[in-house]
Amino acid sequence: MEEIIQKLHQGIKQSGWDIFKHLKKELLNYNSKDLIIKLLNSKEFKYKNIRSLLVIIPELWKDFSLEDWRIIMREVNRPSNYRVFIDDGPYFEDVRFLYNWIGIDSIKLYKNDPEISDENKRYLDRVFPLFLHDTMRNGEYMEDFHDGTFGDIKFFREMKSRLMSQGAKPSPLPDL
């Protein structure tokens, strides 16, 4: 897994987010849940790179259940000293992604999980709501779904339906 993470890291430096589509087949050969956890815990990636990976290649998470997302949330180490307007690590991107792009209330999901420490819940409180909004959802983002920049929108809609059928609540954002 370290090899693909290094390829991603180097590829982002050299060609930006275009590298995601070039590495898609290789990425999908890995355990997606473990890969996402590893990336979210990495100091080498910025939050916008991980968010973009999740938006561009939904096949990484398209088969996840609510429990899979809970496992990811539990396994990410949230830094106690994260500064919203200064730091750009990916440590909260799972929560933001679910809230903004899938459309479920991942904050409530996170805070109500008895397996997540009170300490980590406090770290989330320090970051949200300031860090909750995703500027990629402003403006003409739907065009990015239509022109193939982002992955197939059906995966996002199906994921929301699946997670809600498993007990998740919707976020207040409009549906994709």
Query: What integer pLDDT is reported at residue 10 of this predicted model?
Result: 93
Query: What integer pLDDT is reported at residue 137 of this predicted model?
Result: 75
DSSP state of 171: P
Bridge partners for 104 per DSSP: 170
Query: What integer pLDDT is reported at residue 38 of this predicted model?
Result: 97
Dihedral class, residue 116 (left if φ above 0, else alpha if ψ from -120 to 50, else beta) = beta
Query: What integer pLDDT is reported at residue 174 of this predicted model?
Result: 84
Query: What integer pLDDT is reported at residue 133 of this predicted model?
Result: 75
3-class DSSP assignment, residue 104: strand
Query: What integer pLDDT is reported at residue 139 of this predicted model?
Result: 67
Query: What integer pLDDT is reported at residue 85 of this predicted model?
Result: 67
Give the CA count within 13 Å in the CB-facing half-sphere of 22: 12
Query: What integer pLDDT is reported at residue 82 of this predicted model?
Result: 79
Q: How far apart are CA 171 and CA 135, in angstroms?
A: 16
**80 CB contacts (<8 Å, ≥6 apart)?**
119, 123
Give me the helix-helix angle, 66-75 and 153-165, nearest 10°. Answer: 90
- Between the CA of residue 47 and those of 25, 63, 119, 175, what are the distances in Å? 22, 22, 21, 22
Task: With CA atoms as reference, report the closest residue to 93 among 35, 27, 40, 17.
Answer: 40
What's at 15, amino acid-wise?
A: S
pLDDT digits (tens), the chain, 176 positions: 999 999 999 999 998 888 999 999 999 999 999 999 999 999 899 999 999 999 999 999 999 999 999 999 999 988 888 776 677 888 999 999 999 999 999 999 999 999 999 998 988 888 887 777 777 777 678 899 999 999 999 999 999 999 999 999 999 888 88
Torsion angle of the four alpha carbons 79, 84, 85, 88, in this order, in degrees rounded to the nearest 10: 50
